[in-house]
Structure 1
Amino acid sequence: MSLSPLQLPLPLQTSLKATSRGTAPGWAVKQRQLFDLLNESAKRFIAKYTRPDGTLIWRNDWPGMDGSDDPYEGFMNLALLHALGGDDFLHEASRRIWEGITFQWTEYGQIHREFDAYYDWMHHGEGYLYFYFLGLSGPALLKDRQRAVRFANMYTGDDAEAPNYDKEKKLIRSPLNGSKGPRFIASAEDWSTHRGILDNYLAPYEDIPGVDFASRKCKWSDDTIYAHLLSMMNERMNRGDVPLNLNATGLVANAFMHTADDKYKQWVVDYLAAWSERAARNGGLIPDNVGLNDEIGEYNDGKWWGGYYGYRWPHGFMTVIEPITNATMNAVLLTGDMEQLGLARRQIDLNWSLRKQSEDGRTVVPYKHFDAGWADFREASVRYPIYLWTVSMAAEDLERINRIPKSYNWDEVVIPNVSGKDALTGRDTKHFISNTEPWFRYMNGELPDYPDRILDANFKLITKQLDRMDSPMGDPAQWSSSYNDDDFSSIHIWQELCPVYMESLVQLTLGGPMHISHGGFQHGRFRYFDGDRKRVGLPLDTAALVEQLSDDSATLHLVNTSMFESHTVVIQGGTFGEHDIISATVLDTEDQAGQTVQVNSKWLQVELLPGAAIRLSLMMSRYVNEPTYDGPWSRKSVEPLLTGRTE
């Protein structure tokens, strides 16, 4: 990739050189083999399911509001793979396909001004991960920056065409929102593509005529019941704010990282604070609905439960705590203030305080609240405390993790499937993310063979996905014309077939768990750049392993697997440059300290001669820099954005 006009060389003040040839460890060889497999799999996936213009080979219509997120999800990892060090072709291909999907779903009628016209922030969050990954797959283009600002302004109250945000009351005005503003009234067509799927879901309310709430099923496909559903949801659910909208903090934080404009940082902090105040008003527990006047339960008979994607319908606590976790992590990223994690910590603690013993002796917590009280008691998820711990490195978050009984084997490395749950552990596998627990164990000095095991599992997953691509279901000509096929949902098909999944590479190289699938940034302790080719990602032949993390340090192992070529890697503190590297100490195989150099920068350059490796103990100061997508060669004073007509 050539050096673009928006990049200027930036001298790196500190560098190290690894000179001694050696035999590459097994994990390093597997890492590079996995990059090769992913690159080739990406080419085949693109060739089979997209046209040259980036549009997808698919049906000629899609009438419902649910769906623009899914094609983005199916192809978003092309950009993430490039950011990690995947082939150069991925930079162009990931942008071309993003443009193709955006055009295609505009023609279907759901995307407007390049952003989803209206839907909820569980689905916006999933789909716009692609957009965030494009930021990491830099250098940023004018289109990236222009869109980041335009999209964020739809949620800061600065876009008259999309009046989603009430600046005075600090609330997003509907759970259904987007480039056309709040959607207070949903139509019959909006839900048309998913009526069959929703037949198997819990009813949104206990008093829907013709529905037995106790059956845990609601017949959306029945026209009479469907009419009642639409009327009741429009009356009770589609006006006012819900915690799910906290996922919008990612879109606004994304704009900050493209612009460094403090108004976006302030919006994230203010909106999170508004929800903290609502929780305080509700006795500490965050309500799942407030009306347009910021009154809890304003359209719901005063009930703090029963909002859209709230405590009752459809998933319960998961879709309350996830956006809170995302928002609090975003606020720490932007401010460096660990107190911003408070709302997530308090909600996890309150949920834990409601625990009880099940009949089979397990410790369970409630995931739902009905009119009769707390319900749907299940084991607490360890994922959200782990995410908080990766940010805070605090003892209190470690305690939140360790208090949860290990009712399944946290050491088990899982090969995820497409069902949404792994059959062995019951772990969620959305976006094929399933090994957060064993990664956490490895970071805490357990599971020394975890790198090899997770890489092996990743190879098996890709092999399975390639087999699925080659099977009859992988042939686009065979896909059903039904909106709700019995074998697979046609709108999810690209996710179910995609072979470009790399949980192992993210965990091992960046030093963090995979993103929260419903809109979370890809946080990590490090990011890398190729010092020779002046591009994002690990250089060719180079492998990286984060072996240990603490509040003020990390241990990093770099290996050049080529016996003939030298490579220069630039280590960055934090995925978004939020951390400084204070010093670097070379470690031998017995962890004995050797040379120490002072760095005092977010970047450290390491030259790896052929076959050379180096282990470094890096002292760090975390969350001291404003986060940005800029790399070590990006020019800070970028060209101004384009401005349009005013009349």
Structure 2
Amino acid sequence: MTLLRKPLEVPSVTAKDNWTPPAWALLECKLFETLNQAAKEFVQKYVRPDGTLIWRSEWPGMDGSDDPYEGFMYLALLYALGGDEELREMSLRIWEGVTWQWTEYGQIYRDFDSYYDWMHHGEGYLFFYFLGLAAPSHLKNVQRAQRFASFYTGKDAEAHNYDAEKKLIRSPITGSRGPRHEMSEEDWCTHRGILDNYLAPFEDIPGVDFASGTCPWSDDHVYGNLIRIMNERMAKGDVPLNLNATGPIANAYMYSGDAELKKWVLDYVHAWRERAEQNGGIIPDNIGLSGEIGEYNDGKWWGGYYGWRWPHGFLTIIEPIVNASMNAVLLSGDMNYLCLAREQLDRNWELGHEENGSWVTPTKHFDSGWTSYRLPNPLYPIHLWTVSMAEEDAARADRIDKLSYDLDIDVPEYSGTNPITGKNTKHYNGNTVQWFHYMRGKNPDYPKQILEANYKLVSRQLQKMRSEEGDPNNWISDGFSLGALSSIHKWQEMCPVYFEGLLQLTLGSPMHTSHGGLQHGRVRYFNADLERPGLPDGTAALVEALHADSVTLNLVNLDLFADKQIIIQAGMFGEHQFEIVTVTSQEDHVQETLPANNKWFLVKLLPGAGIRLHMTMNRYVNQPTYETPWANPQNTGRISGREK
């Protein structure tokens, strides 16, 4: 056994009982091994040695950098879970390469998107957040995190995105160059062919039949009118989508512990709750620069950018609200910050009606009123439940028709039975409902089912990547056409590094929301022998039960020749605190009870040994941080230039 190079004053226990390897443990280890190999093949095929991607020589418009980041971001998260050591360096190299490449294309400035919306920022900067888990003391990123946050706190001299007095972000289109109050036709050029099939953003665009549900962006005359009207009505002021900006602020806080960053997140969430209250309980989707609701939309509270009318409706309103509410609780420990999300879910539910035996709720609001009624989505209350562990949030999920565990239905994201791994969800993240059922005592076979499904998904993705469709030379074009947008999604479509079930089972958490949610977790792990994040090779973990004040966790060492040392952390960011640890056998017989009173707990696993731990805990009582048992990014040296 390799001894810790730096002694840790943390409680520990030694697992001596030889366990018969459970099926889930064997599958976890096989999946780790397969993902490690798949990740390296993926990188070898699409990435140059300098970290840039094999792709075209030019890319216009403001869109685009989020997609390559999304295609490779799971390399960092896989490493943080316990993937191969070289994935850490691959992740850092690719992030640098993509950042440089899209800087050269023109979308990125000062290592951050020049300007775009917080649906796409949210997607792209997941990679950066995962690097905080994988390489928390990486000096460049420690400093970048603070700079990125300054773009939205009002402290950056160039990017005036935030009005600190009115607590509003000045535009839906923001970034390192500040708010974009005047969008150009070039900004949107890569989207024109795609958006032809979308609803028009306004009901009075000359030459457009709004009732048709489509809008001819490819028509030059219509396109000119679209950009003009969007600039008049959408480009100035705040929108709910901007709540995703709490992500980089919370990320920076995890590196620095700066109280001003925490205050910013809490103030901004509170400001949006006040706006909802002013609007009779429904969150408005456009706030003018003066702070007035509907300032540029004739007083209408609907009609803003990524708002109630266009293009996705409730999805891009509730998701950033949930993300921001969870971030606020993470930083403060105050569950009252979930109220904004809860209130919007409840108000939306109340606006629903029964249709064909199911309760449907409105996802859009036109000038004529509420419309586009659909089955409500259980994912949002489930995410809230993982934070609150409150029955009221579980009930918000349970009340949704079609969520019933016994139903076998055709809507994949609502299926309560077999795992879903089709491309009907972003990043193949489609099993939050099934995991929720497992945590609620249903479907004990879920761990085996989801790991087998994940393995099949990796196999399927590898076949696609190795096919003619996966050849990057077929995507490259030095020209540009209205249909060119599709090639920028290819890395996501070919990526074989998807592991939703592995993450759920080891961390005791659903996978993050795809448009900017931090990856929360009830626990995470560190390899004490190698002093790095993640589970050691040949070990497996299963969170089998969650309660408001406890977690039940199984650890197994499948290696019959070497000891393994695992440090369990209470919370993804150390935000929780372990209290009492009860050790049980594989047959669930109590063996010993010992105090923990720490955010870390060390388990020494003898060869072939396993252990079940019932760990009581106080949640959200510690400052969340990227600190590891061996290093704290707050102690990382800073580099600063001379004063100008």
1:280-429 correspondence runs (5 A): 280-358=277-355, 360-406=356-402, 408=409, 410-418=415-423, 421=424, 429=425
CA-to-partner distance for each residue in 1:366-412, whole Å, 9 max, x for gaps?
00000000000000000000000000001111111111112636322
State yes or no: 1:500 paired with 2:505.
Answer: no
Q: How far did residue 417 of structure 1 move?
A: 2.9
> Quick one: which of 233, 250, 254 aligns to 2:230?
233
> For the residues of structure 1 that align with 2:18 and 2:625, how far apart are their CA atoms?
36
CA-to-partner distance for each residue in 1:285-332, whole Å, 9 max, x for gaps?
110000000000000010000000000000000100000000000000
State yes or no: 1:455 paired with 2:451.
Answer: yes
Q: Residues 8 and 191 (structure 1 numbering): CA distance in 2 closer, same or farther, change over 3 Å?
A: farther
Q: Which runs of 4+ in 1 moved over 6 A?
A: 484-488
How many residues align structurally?
633
> For the residues of structure 1 that align with 2:231 and 2:169, how far apart are their CA atoms?
16
> For the residues of structure 2 that align with 1:306 and 1:290, how far apart are their CA atoms?
11
Q: How far did residue 642 of structure 1 move?
A: 1.9
Is contact 1:524–1:575 with CA below 8 Å preserved after alignment?
Answer: yes
Q: How far did residue 589 of structure 1 move?
A: 3.6
> For the residues of structure 2 that align with 1:147 and 1:361, how far apart are their CA atoms?
52
The one-letter code matched in structure 1 to 2:438 is Y
State yes or no: 1:22 paired with 2:19.
Answer: yes
> For the residues of structure 2 that align with 1:58 and 1:267, how far apart are their CA atoms?
39
> Quick one: which of 99, 103, 108 aligns to 1:102?
99
> Quick one: which of 161, 181, 184 aligns to 1:184?
181
CA-to-partner distance for each residue in 1:477-524, whole Å, 9 max, x for gaps?
112537578798111000000000110111000000000000000001
Is contact 1:79–1:130 with CA below 8 Å preserved after alignment?
Answer: yes
Number of the residue aligned with 2:406 = none
> For the residues of structure 2 that align with 1:68 and 1:447, how far apart are their CA atoms?
40
Unpaired runs of 5+ in structure 1? 422-428
State yes or no: 1:214 paired with 2:215.
Answer: no
Q: How far did residue 36 of structure 1 move?
A: 0.5
State yes or no: 1:271 paired with 2:276.
Answer: no
Is contact 1:10–1:633 with CA below 8 Å preserved after alignment?
Answer: no
> For the residues of structure 2 that align with 1:153 and 1:74, how far apart are their CA atoms?
27
CA-to-partner distance for each residue in 1:514-552, whole Å, 9 max, x for gaps?
000000000010010001111000011110000000000
Is contact 1:552–1:622 with CA below 8 Å preserved after alignment?
Answer: yes
Is contact 1:582–1:618 with CA below 8 Å preserved after alignment?
Answer: yes
Is contact 2:190–2:482 with CA below 8 Å preserved after alignment?
Answer: no
CA-to-partner distance for each residue in 1:237-290, whole Å, 9 max, x for gaps?
000000000000010010000001101000000011111111111111110000
State yes or no: 1:64 paired with 2:47.
Answer: no
> For the residues of structure 1 that align with 2:455 and 2:482, how far apart are their CA atoms?
29
State yes or no: 1:437 paired with 2:442.
Answer: no
What SS class does the counterpart of residue 155 from structure 1 fall into?
helix
> Quick one: which of 576, 580, 584 aligns to 1:583?
580
> For the residues of structure 2 that align with 1:462 and 1:411, how far apart are their CA atoms?
22
What SS class does the counterpart of residue 56 from structure 1 fall into?
coil
> For the residues of structure 2 that align with 1:296 and 1:646, how far apart are their CA atoms?
42
Is contact 1:573–1:580 with CA below 8 Å preserved after alignment?
Answer: yes
Q: How far did residue 13 of structure 1 move?
A: 2.5
> For the residues of structure 2 that align with 1:335 and 1:107, how far apart are their CA atoms?
39
Q: Residues 353 and 464 (structure 1 numbering): CA distance in 2 closer, same or farther, change over 3 Å?
A: same
> For the residues of structure 2 that align with 1:127 and 1:13, how far apart are their CA atoms?
37
Number of the residue aligned with 1:446 = 442
The one-letter code matched in structure 2 to 1:389 is W
Is contact 2:421–2:454 with CA below 8 Å preserved after alignment?
Answer: no
The one-letter code matched in structure 1 to 2:217 is W
Q: How far did residue 641 of structure 1 move?
A: 1.9
TM-score, length basis structure 2 = 0.96
> For the residues of structure 2 that align with 1:9 and 1:213, how far apart are their CA atoms?
66
Number of the residue aligned with 1:84 = 81
State yes or no: 1:616 paired with 2:629.
Answer: no
> Quick one: which of 50, 53, 59 aligns to 1:53?
50
> For the residues of structure 2 that align with 1:637 and 1:175, how far apart are their CA atoms?
32
Q: Residues 64 and 488 (structure 1 numbering): CA distance in 2 closer, same or farther, change over 3 Å?
A: closer
> For the residues of structure 2 that align with 1:588 and 1:285, how far apart are their CA atoms?
51
The one-letter code matched in structure 2 to 1:593 is V
1:241-256 correspondence runs (5 A): 241-256=238-253
What SS class does the counterpart of residue 152 from structure 1 fall into?
helix
Is contact 2:19–2:556 with CA below 8 Å preserved after alignment?
Answer: no
Number of the residue aligned with 2:474 = 478
> For the residues of structure 2 that align with 1:438 and 1:628, how far apart are their CA atoms?
30
The one-letter code matched in structure 1 to 2:427 is H
> For the residues of structure 1 that align with 2:427 and 2:315, how far apart are their CA atoms?
16
> Quick one: which of 135, 138, 163 aligns to 2:135?
138
Is contact 2:541–2:555 with CA below 8 Å preserved after alignment?
Answer: yes
Is contact 2:244–2:320 with CA below 8 Å preserved after alignment?
Answer: yes
Is contact 1:50–1:57 with CA below 8 Å preserved after alignment?
Answer: yes
Identity of aligned residues (%): 61
Q: Residues 538 and 411 (structure 1 numbering): CA distance in 2 closer, same or farther, change over 3 Å?
A: same
Structure 1, 374-383 or 627-636: larger mean CA deviation: 627-636
> For the residues of structure 1 that align with 2:28 and 2:458, how far apart are their CA atoms?
14
What SS class does the counterpart of residue 617 from structure 2 fall into?
strand
> For the residues of structure 2 that align with 1:484 and 1:366, how far apart are their CA atoms?
36
What SS class does the counterpart of residue 456 from structure 1 fall into?
helix
Q: How far did residue 139 of structure 1 move?
A: 3.8
The one-letter code matched in structure 1 to 2:627 is D
What SS class does the counterpart of residue 154 from structure 1 fall into?
helix
Q: How far did residue 103 of structure 1 move?
A: 0.2
Is contact 1:63–1:108 with CA below 8 Å preserved after alignment?
Answer: yes
> For the residues of structure 1 that align with 2:323 and 2:537, how far apart are their CA atoms?
33
State yes or no: 1:205 paired with 2:210.
Answer: no
Q: How far did residue 69 of structure 1 move?
A: 0.4
What SS class does the counterpart of residue 625 from structure 2 fall into?
coil
What SS class does the counterpart of residue 256 from structure 1 fall into?
helix
CA-to-partner distance for each residue in 1:38-78, whole Å, 9 max, x for gaps?
00000000000000000000000000111110000000000
Is contact 2:419–2:449 with CA below 8 Å preserved after alignment?
Answer: no
Unpaired runs of 5+ in structure 2? 404-408
What SS class does the counterpart of residue 427 from structure 2 fall into?
helix
Number of the residue aligned with 1:537 = 534
> For the residues of structure 2 that align with 1:483 and 1:598, how far apart are their CA atoms?
64
State yes or no: 1:630 paired with 2:635.
Answer: no
What SS class does the counterpart of residue 152 from structure 2 fall into?
coil
Q: Residues 205 and 441 (structure 1 numbering): CA distance in 2 closer, same or farther, change over 3 Å?
A: same
Is contact 2:55–2:476 with CA below 8 Å preserved after alignment?
Answer: no
CA-to-partner distance for each residue in 1:206-244, whole Å, 9 max, x for gaps?
001111111110010110100010000000000000000
Q: How far did residue 357 of structure 1 move?
A: 1.4
Is contact 2:568–2:600 with CA below 8 Å preserved after alignment?
Answer: yes
